[in-house]
Amino acid sequence: MLLSTVVFAQRTEAQGLTFAIFERYLESFRVEAGIPGLSALVIQNSVVVWERGLGRRDVESGAPALPDTPYLVGGLSQTFGATLLLRKCVDQWGAQFDDPVALRNTAYPEPLTTLRQLLSHTAPGGAGYLYSALRYAALTPVIERCAQAPYAVVLSSEIFDRFAMLDSSPDQVLATLPTGADAVLFDAGHLARYADVAARMATAYRITSGRPQRNNDIPAGRVTASDGIISSARDLARFDNVLLSNALLAAATRNEAWTQSLANGTPLPTGLGWFVQNYHGEPIVWQFGMKRGGHSALIVKAPNRGMTFIALANSDGLTAPFALESGDVTTSPFATLFLRLFLP
């Protein structure tokens, strides 16, 4: 197993003041949004320079949110799906971005739609941008075809196990209600680890009239290239560092994923598995996730500055109010706080 270590840094007095301001505003935004618990960190040049758990991962017990608290990350799972597709199909198998999806997923109903188009949320026929988690999920059997293994197994072995992401589980079913088929694919040690992740996962809350109400109605789902992963801020920091180290993807392939895509010559708000935009002339790469009435997730990267902001929450208030599927991360006060303080 190749470990990916999260390194923590000492800060100067000036940096300490900046992070104190950042934390104070982040906490006020959390309270204003009615988010019970928030886990967040900032990475600079592969080093964690700030991390905090704010509020409660479980209101009733008073258990605090921590940097290693697991959450459902929703659509942020797309970054893992894209990474595995690019690794197994492009870098290792020689697939081309403009290959038809149906070449490796024969059940896919759009014969002319390409891998690039699904990865970039391009509408059918190349007619502009259309965010669709359901269409993106059709990449799951493509990855399975390239890897010759079920998606959950590929995710676990190629990323979670290899880089010691021990606060992560491919999905809730494996973590809480594994089937006999799961027991064939995963040994008892893996299943026990996933059960521990689920036991520590932040309780989901829906916010009603500004007050959190425990939400036990979110169904346990199976992982796809588009959704399903449970992870923590610290584990996502490991994943972020791995992407930069070229241990999973060739540098050129990763850079392609972080380059703005086009549809019939018109720029889209996406790369491949990521959103891509400029902020005051600075390229920004980001992704979000949401379980309506439950959890939410956000990652914002400034590659040229070597900086990443990761935040996870146990309500949907981190992302749901801001229509991030439209492709503009600056509608989020959480993201904008990071950008204004660290990319002035």
Note the pLDDT tens digit of each residue in 160-203.
Answer: 999 999 999 999 999 999 999 999 999 999 999 999 999 999 99
Length of the chain: 344
Q: What is the average per-residue pLDDT within 256-261?
A: 96
pTM: 0.95
First to last CA, the chain: 40
Q: pLDDT tens-digit profile of 109-162?
A: 999 999 999 999 999 989 899 999 999 999 999 999 999 999 999 999 999 999
| pLDDT score of 344 | 80
User: Which positions ≥6 away from 54 have C-beta within 8 Å?
Assistant: 23, 26, 27, 30, 37, 38, 39, 40, 65
The token pair at 110 is: 């759009």
DSSP helix, strand, coil percent of the chain (3-state; round to 5): 40, 20, 35
Give pLDDT, residue 16: 78
The CATH number assigned to the domain with range 7-342 reads 3.40.710.10
Domain boundaries, the chain: 7-342
- Taking residue 224's Cβ as centre, other Cβ atoms within 10 Å add up to 23
Q: What's the average model confidence in pLDDT over 56-78?
A: 98
Residue 316 CA: distances (Å) to CA of 157, 215, 251, 312: 30, 11, 34, 10
CA 157 from centroid of its chain's CA atoms: 18
pLDDT at 65 over 70: yes
Rounded Cα–Cα distance for residues 103 and 76 (Å): 26
pLDDT band at 7 (very low <50, low <70, confident <90, very high): low
Q: Please report, as a single letter, which amino acid is at residue 336.
A: T
Tokens of 146: 């390239």
Question: Is 108 within 8 Å of 178 (Cβ atoms)?
Answer: no
